[in-house]
Amino acid sequence: MDAESRSEGAATGGIAADRLRSIIERVERLEEERKALAGDIKDIFSEAKSAGFDVKVIKQIIRLRKQEPAEIEEQETLLDIYRRALGM
């Protein structure tokens, strides 16, 4: 093996192996963090449910808070029109 192929940044088939390994390991760490966060979120919803809150409604509110006010207003207007059309 020559010195270049043993070097830390050696490329194999045009791919820098160390860079690729670093990227993959970072993604793996973030996926583990995402799993932990998902567990935390699940615990919070369980807490909300045990406190008497409706988890479905909480999730709807969270979705609404991510939207722009104009988008929410448009959806509510359409919902109202559809309800009236169905006699609800």
The confidence score (pLDDT) of residue 13 equals 75
Is-contact 27 19, C-beta < 8 A?
A: no
* Predicted pLDDT at 14: 75
**Angstrom distances, CA of residue 62 to CA of 25, 31, 34, 36, 38:** 31, 22, 18, 20, 15
pLDDT one-digit tens code per residue, 3-42: 554 555 566 777 889 999 999 999 999 999 999 999 999 9
pLDDT of 1 reads 47
Nearest Cα to Cα of residue 45 among 33, 61, 34: 61
Summarised one tens digit per residue, pLDDT across range 36-83 is 999 999 999 999 999 999 999 999 999 999 999 999 999 999 999 999
